[in-house]
Amino acid sequence: MVCVRFRRDVAIVGVGMTRFGELWERSFDDLFVEAGLEALEDAGMGGDEIEAMYVGNMSAGRFIDQEHVASLIADRSGLTPIPCTRVEAACASGGLAVRQAILAVASGMYDIVLAGGVEKMTDVTTEEATATLATAADQEWEAFHGVTFPALYAMIARRHMYEYGTTREHLALPPVKNHRNATKNPKAQFQFEITVEQVIESPLVADPLRLLDCSPVSDGAAAVIVCPLEMAKEFTDTPIVVRATAQASDSIALHDREDITTLKATVEAAKTVYKQAGVEPEEVDVAEVHDCFSIAELVAVEDLGFVEKGEAGEAYHEGMFEIDSDYVAVNPSGGLKAKGHPVGASGVAQVVEIVEQLRGEAGKRQVDGAEIGLTHNVGGSGGTVVVHIFERAD
Ligand code: COA
């Protein structure tokens, strides 16, 4: 038994994603269908084999004036009357959609399920996008007072700098690494390198965070196909096993937390997946973590146990999270920062990257000998966190 809590073992047998970026010429449903078709083709199956779908989406109602997106997606995919369910947990919507698909297959309810995520954010102004993203914060105590997501993560950064001596240069290191990685990812939004100096001198967004500390506003979609491990070889020679999945919650508002330099939901979800999978943090070869802002990646590698609390800045300085490091490679795809962050799709795209890495199909950004991979998807400032662990099944 691969995962102690599942009634049967589960594998990913197909993955697909669109390019991420400002995709003016593409519609919301068009993006989802492209990612879904690529996943079907990857698994060598037809759409008629899909029994159910889960769609991660944060805010189509505000970004494109479209609610009831589950019905829209089933319709435009030509897959009615199968059940299709929208899953919303802010920026963790995609990770949660994958988790719902895993649980549905693990329970025995369905055999073949497609989990996708989609967001089309660039049809509105940056001001409107910022206000929409802020709906994931506490309206009464945070957003009402003008607090935005860059501002919430800026507070986390300030406190981390105060508590642990993290410097402005330390903050710049995850974005510099992630932009470098994204030059090797043809689907990334920003395929150019940046320097520490450019990050530090880029326009101020919410002190101390600057433009190049932030993930962008993006359009895009991603999809994965989940089935029982015992069926997986019918579709692929390289099934990727789901070793563990966990979800945790925390207060929606930052001020209700004892310590804002850590996301307790990440710590809790990580504890659960490591225990379920029987894996130690240092055994993870490759991880896609939620780097919506530079400080988020520093906090994530600490909360996931890759380094001790407060030591992330120096670990980045030593290159511990590069693609060719002997330790864990973090965000080889370019992460949310440089690959792009269409919020409902990001958690699914993380799984797509880990599957490609574990299959050895990640091209120029391949992490040598990757066997165990982890994804970490955060909703809001940590009110929801979803973590999965995957392994190649040989
Ligand atoms: N990183 C790098 N470059 C970026 C960028 C980013 N995050 N955001 C925009 N740019 C670039 C654009 O490509 C554009 O380049 P060009 O002039 O060469 O075409 C330029 O900067 C201006 O783009 P624009 O869209 O006008 O920027 P903006 O000032 O309106 O928006 C941010 C910048 C940082 C405010 C916006 O990207 C943002 O809100 N990011 C955070 C998103 C977020 O909160 N997500 C949820 C996390 S929980």
In a shared domain, residues 192 and 322: yes
The answer as to whether 165 is a domain residue is yes
In tens, the pLDDT along 115-162 reads 999 999 999 999 999 999 999 999 999 999 999 999 999 999 999 999
In a shared domain, residues 145 and 44: no
Last residue of a domain, one of 163, 198, 232: 232
Q: Which among 320, 304, 303 is positioned nearest to 373, based on CA atoms? A: 304
Mean pLDDT, rounded, for 210-232: 98
The answer as to whether 130 is a domain residue is no
pLDDT band at 2 (very low <50, low <70, confident <90, very high): low
In a shared domain, residues 209 and 283: yes
Could you give the number of structural domains in the chain?
Answer: 2
In a shared domain, residues 41 and 160: no
pLDDT for res 107? 96
CATH at 247: 3.40.47.10
Cβ(59)–Cβ(44) under 8 Å? no
In tens, the pLDDT along 92-117 reads 999 999 999 999 999 999 999 999 99
Mutate to test the pocket of ligand 1, among 59, 91, 126 (most ligand atoms within 8 A of CB): 126
DSSP string, 18-84: PPPB--TT--HHHHHHHHHHHHHHHHT--GGG--EEEEE-S-HHHHSS---HHHHHHHHTT-TTS-E
In tens, the pLDDT along 253-266 reads 999 999 999 999 99
| Domain span holding position 293 | 136-215+243-392
pLDDT for res 6? 80
In a shared domain, residues 292 and 197: yes
Residue written as token pair 């001596």: 165
% the chain with pLDDT above 90? 98
Q: Which residues carry out catalysis?
A: 91, 341
Last residue of a domain, one of 181, 205, 232: 232
In a shared domain, residues 118 and 262: no
Cβ(309)–Cβ(262) under 8 Å? yes
pLDDT for res 7? 85
pLDDT for res 393? 84
The answer as to whether 1 is a domain residue is no
How many Å apart are CA 60 and CA 56, to the nearest integer? 10
Three-state DSSP string of 117-185:
EEEECCCCCHHHHHHHHHHHCCCCCCHHHCCCHHHHHHHHHHHHHHHHCCCHHHHHHHHHHHHHHHCCC
**Which residue's CA is the closest to the ligand 1 atom numbered 26?**
126
The answer as to whether 2 is a domain residue is no
Q: Which atom of ligand 1 is nearest to the CA of 381?
A: 48
The answer as to whether 355 is a domain residue is yes
101 in helix, strand or coil? helix
Cβ(137)–Cβ(238) under 8 Å? no
The answer as to whether 73 is a domain residue is yes
In a shared domain, residues 267 and 199: yes
